[in-house]
Amino acid sequence: DVKVTQSSRYLVKRTGEKVFLECVQDMDHENMFWYRQDPGLGLRLIYFSYDVKMKEKGDIPEGYSVSREKKERFSLILESASTNQTSMYLCASSLRGPSGNTIYFGEGSWLTVV
Amino acid sequence: AQKVTQAQTEISVVEKEDVTLDCVYETRDTTYYLFWYKQPPSGELVFLIRRNSFDEQNEISGRYSWNFQKSTSSFNFTITASQVVDSAVYFCALVPIKAAGNKLTFGGGTRVLVKP
């Protein structure tokens, strides 16, 4: 079974803190994604990576950065957390190939910024 | 740009009732994939189905069925004889086949509550 693991399920951080959300996948997938989920808005893509050290902005990259130093690991970084970044964050991965390959998701990280 | 609309934000039914979730999409691409995902309370999105735009045949999998109508840009999902375990948030999503990167566009989700 494909496994996408997000290291932290629940975090509470203070405004201005630097926050790291870690994600690891065990299926040798090239593509990795970070989505943000908010009620009524569905999932919105923050960043995407199609290979080690490669990244591409998604629809809402402002206030976020990412790091992909190893194929299996994709980190989301909030340089200076703000209250409007309180949300559920979902990591995902898929094979590269043509679009349409099944995307596998982690269980999500609930981040509260106070 | 793509857009996926799930007009129903929440549906509440009693166990054994049927429930239909609507999904309407917009895209300028002529070839694309459509998906449905289920998100139980645990948080992880679970893949349910992928359908490509070439194939308008309806599909049934157990109590789940999907009605794809390209003419109305809709990809509706029906749960027959609902059960409490079907309580979850369901997402519809789209990706153009020619798009690089396999980046899905999601709808806002529909929360389904099945009461015993």
How far apart, in whole angstroms, are the C-alpha atoms of residue B49 and residue A38?
Answer: 23
**Alpha carbon of A83 to those of A13, A15, A58, A80, B60: distances in Å?**
9, 7, 21, 10, 43
Give pLDDT tens digits for B33-68.
999 999 998 888 999 999 989 888 888 889 999 999
Nearest CB to B97; choose among A40, A43, A98:
A98
Tell me the two tokens of residue A75: 């980190």
Q: From chain A, pick out residues whose CB is under 8 angstroms from the CB of B46.
A: 105
Q: Per-residue pLDDT for A1 more than 70?
A: no
How far apart, in whole angstroms, are the C-alpha atoms of residue A59 and residue A61?
Answer: 6
A52-70 burial, b for 16+ CB within 10 Å, e for fewer?
eeebeebeebeebebbbee
Q: From chain A, pick out residues whose CB is under 8 angstroms from the CB of B89.
A: none
A107: exposed, middle or buried (C-beta count within 10 Å: 0-12, 13-18, 19+)?
middle
Give pLDDT tens digits for A48-95.
999 999 999 999 999 999 999 999 999 999 999 999 999 999 999 998
Which of A35, A41, A43 to mutate against chain B (most B CBs within 10 Å)?
A: A43
Query: With an 8 Å Cβ cutoff, are A42 and B50 in contact?
Result: no
Q: Are B66 and B58 in contact (CB under 8 A)?
A: yes
